[in-house]
Structure 1
Amino acid sequence: MVVGYTGGVFDLFHVGHLNVLRRAKDECDYLIVGVTTDNVSMAVKGKSPIIPFRERLEIVNSIQYVDEVFPQEIIDELGDWEKLKFNKIFKGSDWQGSEKWLYLEKEFLYRGVEVKYFPYTVHTSSTLLKSVLERLVENQGV
């Protein structure tokens, strides 16, 4: 059985998130999805998600492609592998070629884990949606 893993904040859930989960499930028999906690998101991205962690966890868990959710309380893909023992890990293509992921590719290869990159959904992102919402609020004077 091929166990797959991907992780993310999944704030303001959109079609890009759905595409990643659908494509990941197509590549494995059992898909585990790490959902980043509010504290980790704040530490890594410098901002809190709009949707609270428990709600994001529930949303991702309800997606038909997801077999299990995992609270990401630290960004440590190798540590996640130690706990979950997945065979494939999925990441957006925007990370491909980065220093971190070149290193992780070697480490995962040593562990027998395939790293698979999916095309980044350029036309939508949680950051873009958040900025549009903020501009609307500013223009409304709310």
Structure 2
Amino acid sequence: MKKIGYTTGVFDLFHIGHLNILKRAKLECDYLIVGVTTDELSMSAKNKEPVIPFQERMEIVEAIKFVDEVVPQVNYDKEEAWNNLKFDKMFVGDDWKGTEKWKKIEADFAKFNVEICYFSYTSHTSSTKLRNVLDKIEQKK
């Protein structure tokens, strides 16, 4: 039976950490669906407007050979995502492991036989670090 995987992210200022997460996720499933966070959701949740516009971030992620399907992430309702996509595994950053929110999500998804897989982030590269460098360059102008 085909294993369907699901992960989400803003994927702003796409870097090697993003690529590694998608590559690792694809090793764990046969078909990988990636939710790309909309600009509006990013603004409401993180109060940060992505540097790269939503449509371009969608195109970048679609071009990755490990990704089979790209969908917009318009909210953080993981159960709604499962109802729409019927994935078997969900891939999440390990910074969420053990939090009350994700303990509840794990319990909720156990009912659907969905496995939550935690991946460690690439510590030396992040979109936040890249954004900070860009801000410093802008300030020098």
Please state which band the TM-score falls in when normalised by the shorter chain.
over 0.9
Q: Which amino acid aligns with 2:128?
A: T
Deviates most, 75-84 or 5-14: 75-84
Q: Structure 1: which 4+ aligned runs deviate by more than 2 Å?
A: none
SS at 1:138 equivalent: helix
Gaps of 5+ in 2: none
CA distance in 1, matches of 2:34, 2:78: 12
- Which TM-score applies when normalising by structure 2? 0.97
Q: Which amino acid aligns with 2:99?
A: S
CA distance in 2, matches of 1:87, 1:59: 24
RMSD: 0.7
Where do 1:1-142 residues align within 5 Å? Answer: 1-139=2-140, 141=141
Gaps of 5+ in 1: none
Identity %: 57
Q: C-alpha displacement at 1:25, in angstroms?
A: 0.2
CA distance in 2, matches of 1:95, 1:135: 30
Aligned residues between the structures = 140
SS at 1:124 equivalent: coil
CA distance in 2, matches of 1:77, 1:123: 29
Deviation per residue, 1:12-53 (Å, 9 max, x gap): 000110000000000000000000000000000011100000
